Structure 1
């Protein structure tokens, strides 16, 4: 089952990439958000290796687009460092499973309800990501927060996050699928 879902996701990524344009960050677009804003449904935003900080590289919002935002070489070398001020990604515009983030490390996020990633009224796919050392000041979902969504979280590591409730992942009114993930050493007070 895991092999089938991984193979299916790989095919989906290839189909999406083949059907749209590939936008390059930072060579064509200076920030990840600039690449997302320039993308149309079916496009891929390909992010080069590096550590991304500051405005335009955190609180990333797909704006309802059905796109793939992926790193060039994986989460060990493509890092979104939120600098304890904001989160990595914010999905809140009805994004579906065809809206994909792939291959990022999201670290040092600090935001209410989802220090690393907030998913509200959306159902994106989160694949091959590391959500590490994020917090939210005592509310819910230190690493990932889901509210009214049906996300697929696959091949991810969620560790060393802190929250009032759900240190690693907090889900309410949601049906999520978590597959082939490592969720460890997360803490909550509630």
Structure 2
């Protein structure tokens, strides 16, 4: 009864997180020595409550999370509740859909060979940090999160200093509708494309208040469909946005609206026969040496630039067009200082 009183507010939060009826709460380390032991004891709809501390070893880091509507949550937040892979092991794995959805909240996942593996699943990921997760092998995609055929919802998540051949922060492939709200990609690295976030195939992401800061490259889109980027910030990236075709069926079209591009190398590189619409955006202080233009059109696509400013960039051109496809349409915009 004493424990129930102490955890009463937490239990209410857990129930609200995934919309489930209240199940049992399993305490780590008070009742279970490891996080995996607590997960294994869960019935559908149960919760695992983790005390502050740094957790190491396979039974605390390389977790197998069943798709049974679990809530895995820290008691004191992500800054003080850390799963440390010690550069030796991968992080949690979640395979399979569930309703209510699995919730993971309030953790730092760091120094794993892969931070989180999502396969055919739809979790809610909230208040998380993915820090310095690097693969031990060359190949693959995703340092912080690898996401295949999945539609996670990410809120208040930070990806920092992760690395991978592609998708250093996060990689999404197959089919999916991932949602990003108040997510930051900071200082991530990739050998190929999308050091912050890479999306491939039939993945159509949605964004709200998302920032790409100081990544080797920011966002990579090789998707079959239309993606809207609204209200995003791209600052200090070597390449902010790259959209390209990947075969005859993978042709992206992109709308960029109310976004800020500041201090990047090349801001937007569009290499596809689809449509690129840029509305009410600012492109400023691009750095020379990382691309000949702030906005580059290659591959036959159609650019429409409206109510935007492209100014004070050190690139050779504010806007460049390789001559393939229709000529760019520029309306009510200022392009100068290049």
Q: Which runs of 5+ in 2 are unaligned?
A: 1-12, 193-338
User: Which structure has the larger Rg?
Assistant: 2
The 1:96–1:148 alpha-carbon spacing in structure 2 relative to 1, beyond 3 Å, is farther
CA distance in structure 1 between the partners assigned to 2:65 and 2:32 by the alignment = 15
Q: How far 1:43 moved relative to its partner?
A: 1.0
| Contact 1:140–1:164 (CA under 8 A) maintained in structure 2 | yes
1:181: which partner in 2?
A: 183
CA distance in structure 1 between the partners assigned to 2:163 and 2:111 by the alignment = 11
CA distance in structure 2 between the partners assigned to 1:151 and 1:61 by the alignment = 17
The 1:65–1:168 alpha-carbon spacing in structure 2 relative to 1, beyond 3 Å, is same
1:118: which partner in 2?
A: 117
| Contact 2:88–2:112 (CA under 8 A) maintained in structure 1 | yes
| Contact 2:45–2:71 (CA under 8 A) maintained in structure 1 | yes
Q: TM-score, normalised on structure 2?
A: 0.50
CA distance in structure 2 between the partners assigned to 1:167 and 1:126 by the alignment = 18
- Higher strand proportion: 2
The 1:53–1:23 alpha-carbon spacing in structure 2 relative to 1, beyond 3 Å, is same
Larger displacement relative to structure 2 (83-92 or 141-150) = 83-92
The C-alpha deviation readout for 1:71-94, integer Å capped at 9, x for no partner, is 011111100001112222111133
CA distance in structure 2 between the partners assigned to 1:77 and 1:130 by the alignment = 11
Residue 164 in 1 paired to residue 168 in 2? Answer: no
- Higher helix proportion: 1
Q: How far 1:14 moved relative to its partner?
A: 7.5
1:12: which partner in 2?
A: 16
The C-alpha deviation readout for 1:130-171, integer Å capped at 9, x for no partner, is 000001233210111100000001101011000001011100
What aligned pairs does 1:105-144 form with structure 2 within 5 A after superposition? 105-110=108-113, 115-136=114-135, 137-138=137-138, 139-144=140-145
2:50: which partner in 1?
A: 47
The 1:169–1:14 alpha-carbon spacing in structure 2 relative to 1, beyond 3 Å, is closer
The C-alpha deviation readout for 1:82-118, integer Å capped at 9, x for no partner, is 11122221111334562010000000001xxxx1011
Q: TM-score, normalised on structure 1?
A: 0.87
RMSD of aligned residue pairs (Cα, Å)? 1.8
The 1:28–1:93 alpha-carbon spacing in structure 2 relative to 1, beyond 3 Å, is same
